Amino acid sequence: MNQEDYLQNLLAFLSASPTAFHATAGARRLLDSQGFRRLLESEDWGDPGPGAYYVTRNDSALIAFVLNQGAGGCRSLRMAGAHTDSPGFRLKPNTLHSSEGHVRLGVEVYGGPLLSTWFDRDCSLAGRVIWLDRAGQLQASLVDFKRPLAVIPSLAAHLDPTANKEHTINRQTDLVPLLTLGEAPDFAALLLDRLREDQTDPTEILGFDLFLYDAQPPARVGLNGELLCAARLDNLLSCHALVQALSRSADCQDALIVLNDHEEVGSASAAGARGSFLRDVLQRLFTPARLAGLMARSLLVSADNAHALHPNFVGKHEPEHQPRMQGGPVVKVNAGQCYATSAATAAQFAFLCRKAGVPCQSFVMRNDMACGSTIGPVTASELGVATVDVGVPQLAMHSVRETAAWLDGYALLQVMRAFFAADERLLCAPQVDL
């Protein structure tokens, strides 16, 4: 895949993935097209044999793996992880409320969005809807309204003397999206109509996981088009690179990717990295004794975007660790183990970058600022697998519209391809010999 193909493919994936459910569906479509076989958690797998497989949980998390000689012949796994969710706003169950001729949507804040960036955006709705069919069976569908339906209007500068000073945002009262004027529509009827457009035949809506999203499509920005401005670059950029690398590599060795949901709210869920998903899948394939040995011969690359140096806020970075956009993937290090990287795993990743012919950089948070975390340390703790935390450098993380240099995403794809093709000797962490 050349650079331009990569960019077009990434733009399509971002546009088609307004929610974690859609990102998972997009990954499934690509895996299906590349011959991966779907396994269902509800069924007995037996020995699935040599091949390429994927499993989903909650329609929002996915594990895909390639076992060239089947589970019995697998000696080590090239593992990589990312997360499908992004911060934003989720609709409350009783979502519509009318007052003074305005119909607004009740929303909950999901994760830690940069709240100020959500004002005055053209927002649409997307997610998963559970409905009853004519036979009385429950069905699930993804919906995406695509067109702008709602807006969170700012308060005029003239009415807010604090607007450009120490402005605070009340999460309950200031961020209620405006849906329409006049009489409140029947929200369930709106959803039914939308579902029927997709040739389904629902009789009743019984539940939904719907999110607000910015309807502005991703764009190439910058004098030379080197920047990518889009929603959810954290962490769909990584999800995309992992799925592309696994599914399109002809020389792929035994490898596995895990795309977890709920990273932005702490990962403690059935579909999150603190849940049992990855362990459950591995335990179906390997006995406990084999699994322990396998993990000791495996490496996990946890990919989640990193903070690039912001030219307007240089002082927010540790002076000797200032990852630049277009400088290649970033290895994240933290003494407090907010990142799982060790000297050994950092060296392994640097070696892979060298093999792939891409530069790499390192990031350490300033001592006077709190360090974020990601799925790497969680999965490393759960499974005991050696882990390196890495990510594409970006600006404006958790803004409704984030900025990155798309060539860094292409570089991550190259490294992941080198990783999935890597020899087992590279995977075994070097150990001190006495």
List interacting residues with Zn ion (CB under 5 A): 234-235, 304
- DSSP state, residue 159: G
Nearest approach, Cβ of residue 36 and Zn ion (Å): 25
Nearest approach, Cβ of residue 154 and Zn ion (Å): 27
| Farthest CA pair distance, the chain | 78
Nearest approach, Cβ of residue 24 and Zn ion (Å): 16
The H or E element containing residue 344 is: helix 343-356
Tell me the C-alpha distance between 282 and 275, whole Å.
Answer: 13
Q: Which residue, 254 or 263, has its beta carbon nearer to Zn ion? A: 263
Tell me the C-alpha distance between 235 and 262, whole Å.
Answer: 12
- 253-70-285 Cα angle (round to 5): 105
One-letter amino acid identity for 33? Answer: S
Q: Which residue, 236 or 285, has its beta carbon nearer to Zn ion? A: 236
Nearest approach, Cβ of residue 310 and Zn ion (Å): 17
Q: Which residue, 194 or 240, has its beta carbon nearer to Zn ion? A: 240
Q: Which residue, 109 or 291, has its beta carbon nearer to Zn ion? A: 109
Q: Which residue, 22 or 104, has its beta carbon nearer to Zn ion? A: 22
Q: Which residue, 235 or 249, has its beta carbon nearer to Zn ion? A: 235
Phi, psi for 162 (deg, rounded to 5): -90, 0
Q: Which of 322, 305, 321, 212 is nearest to 264 (CA)?
A: 305
Q: Which token pair is 310?
A: 């912001």
Do the Cβ atoms of 246 and 420 come closer than 8 Å? yes
Nearest approach, Cβ of residue 235 and Zn ion (Å): 4
- DSSP state, residue 263: G
Whole-Å CA distances, 263 to 81, 86, 413:
11, 8, 22
Nearest approach, Cβ of residue 269 and Zn ion (Å): 16
Nearest approach, Cβ of residue 113 and Zn ion (Å): 12
Whether residue 235 has a cis bond before it, omega within 30° of 0? yes
Tell me the C-alpha distance between 306 and 298, whole Å.
Answer: 24
Q: Which residue, 59 or 304, has its beta carbon nearer to Zn ion? A: 304
